[in-house]
Amino acid sequence: MNDSIFHNQDLITPSYVYDQSIISKVLDCLEQLKTNTGLISLYSMKSACMFDVMACIKPGVSGFSCSSLFEVLLAKELLDEDQTIHIATPGYRNDEWDRLIGLCDFITLNSINQWKHFADKINKKASCGIRINPELSFVKDKRYDPCRPDSKLGVTLQQLAEANTRQKLDWKSVEGVHIHNNCESVDFNDLKISIEHVMSNLSQYRLELKWINLGGGYLFNNQSDLTPLEETVNQLVNNNNLIVYFEPGKAITGNAGHLVSSVIDLIEYKNKTLAVLDTTVNHMPEVFEYQYQPKVMNAVKQGGYNYHLVGCSCLSGDLFGDYFFDEPLEIGSRIVFENVGAYMQVKANMFNGINLPSTYLFDGNENYKLIKQHDYKSFRSRL
C-alpha cells in the first residue's frame, strides 16, 4: 500500500484502516482451495467483527464461526440463508442455550460434561460436534497454545477413552469433530500431523462422522506451502467421506488492518527522543499483554533518527518500542502500525477516557469509507 494515502488530512487519527484488496487476495486463495479440495471456509469472527469488514468477507466464505451468543446474533444479521453459523466455546450458558440451538447450524461441545448435559438437547436443525485436544503443541509461547498443559480447550484423547470405558458414550449424538491446536503457523505439516493423530485414535470407536472442522491458527503468505493442507483435506474427503471446514480469522484480517496515528509531542532526552502519539497500547492491547513490538511503516533497521514511540495514556508502560527512521519526525507526522487487523479493535478499550480510533474501509483505489466514529456517548455508555 502506498504510504501517501495515510497522510490524507481527511483521515482522522487515530484510526483503524482495513484494506479491502488485501482481504480479497486471501479470499481468492480460499476459493482456490475449495476448487482443489472441497474445503469449506468459515470466517472466525473473533478476529475482527466490524459489520462493514465482515460484509467484505461474507461473499468469499460459506459462513461464520462464532464464540458467543452476541457473535451469533451479529452473524445472523449479516449472512444469507444458504450460509452457515458454527459455534464453539468453552462456556455455554443454560440461559442462552435455547436461543443458540435455534440460531446455529453447527454446535461444538468442549467437554465430556457438556456432552452429557447438552448433546441430547440439540434439536434436529443443529449438528452436534465435539472439540478434540490432540495434546500436540506446536506453539512455543504457552499463552497462545491451545494444547498447553491442563488446557480448557477441548477433550483429550485420554479423557475420551476413559469416559467411553466408564459410561459408553452415545456417539450417535455427535456428527462431527473440531480440532484447533495452533496459532499463527505457516507450516501446514503441523495440521497434517494433528489430523492423522486424531483420526487414527478415533478409529477405535467406529464413528459415523459427517464433518470435521480443522479450526484456525494458520496464516497464508509467501512462506506457506499449501500442499500438506490439500493432502489432508483430500484424504478426509476421499477416505473418510467427511465434509471439511476451516476457520481462518487472522489469516483474512491480520495483514489487512493498519492503525494510523499522529505524533502530538516530542520529548528530548540525552540519548533518546520520545514521540508521543495520539493513540495508545489500549488500542492494541496485545502489544501490552504479550509484549511484542508491532511493525511500523517506513521504519528501518538502523537510521539517522531514533525514536521511542509512546502512547498518550498515563500508563507508564504505554510503550510501542524503539524505531529508526531515515527522516526526522515532527509534530503531526503520521505513524502507521502495519499488519494489526486482527484482535486490535475487538480488544480495544477506553482507559483514561481516551477515545477509540475511528474505523475506515479502504477500497484499494485511494477511496476511504468511514464506517465507525466514537464520541463521548460511546465512553459514557460503557460505564
- Please state, as a whole number, how many other Cβ atoms lie within 10 Å of the Cβ of residue 179: 23
**Contacts (Cβ under 8 Å, ≥6 apart) of 275:** 263, 265, 266, 307, 308, 309, 310, 329, 333, 335
Inter-axis angle of helices 94-103 and 69-78, nearest 10 = 20
Average pLDDT for 345-349: 93
Residues present in the chain in total: 383
Q: Read off the CATH number of the domain in which 99 is found.
A: 3.20.20.10
Do 160 and 210 belong together in one domain? yes
Do 230 and 363 belong together in one domain? no
* The C-alpha cell that represents 297 in the structure block: 511503516
Report the C-alpha gap between 197 and 202 in whole angstroms: 9
Average pLDDT for 358-370: 87
Report the C-alpha gap between 82 and 79 in whole angstroms: 8
Q: Give the range among 23-27, 300-304, 371-375 with minimum mean pLDDT.
A: 300-304
> Is residue 23 included in any domain, yes or no?
no
Q: Read off the CATH number of the domain in which 366 is found.
A: 2.40.37.10
Report the C-alpha gap between 358 and 55 in whole angstroms: 18
Do 176 and 106 belong together in one domain? yes
> Is residue 28 included in any domain, yes or no?
no
> Is residue 30 included in any domain, yes or no?
no
Closest CA to 210 of 128, 107, 154: 128
Do 199 and 285 belong together in one domain? no
Do 304 and 189 belong together in one domain? no
Residue at a domain's end among 253, 274, 297: 253
Please write the tens of the pLDDT for every residue from 120-137.
Answer: 888 777 999 999 999 999
Do 242 and 274 belong together in one domain? no
> Is residue 25 included in any domain, yes or no?
no
Residue at a domain's end among 233, 253, 273: 253
Q: Is 291 exposed, middle or buried (0-12, 13-18, 19+ CB in 10 A)?
A: exposed
Do 226 and 314 belong together in one domain? no
Q: How many independent structural domains does the chain possess?
A: 2
Do 223 and 327 belong together in one domain? no
Q: What is the pLDDT of residue 2?
A: 62
| Domain ranges, residue 204 | 38-253
Do 92 and 233 belong together in one domain? yes
Pairing mode, strands 319-325 and 334-337: unpaired
* The C-alpha cell that represents 369 in the structure block: 469509507
176 membership: H or E segment, kind and range: strand 176-178
Three-state DSSP at 300 gives strand
Whether 36 shows a pLDDT value over 80: the answer reads yes
Do 263 and 125 belong together in one domain? no
> Is residue 31 included in any domain, yes or no?
no
- DSSP assignment of 62-74: SEEEESSHHHHHH
Question: Rounded to two decimals, what is the model's pTM?
Answer: 0.94
Do 223 and 289 belong together in one domain? no
Do 201 and 324 belong together in one domain? no
Average pLDDT for 43-61: 96
* The C-alpha cell that represents 267 in the structure block: 520529548
> Is residue 27 included in any domain, yes or no?
no
Residue at a domain's end among 203, 235, 253: 253
**Contacts (Cβ under 8 Å, ≥6 apart) of 210:** 127, 175, 176, 242, 243
Whether 370 shows a pLDDT value over 70: the answer reads yes
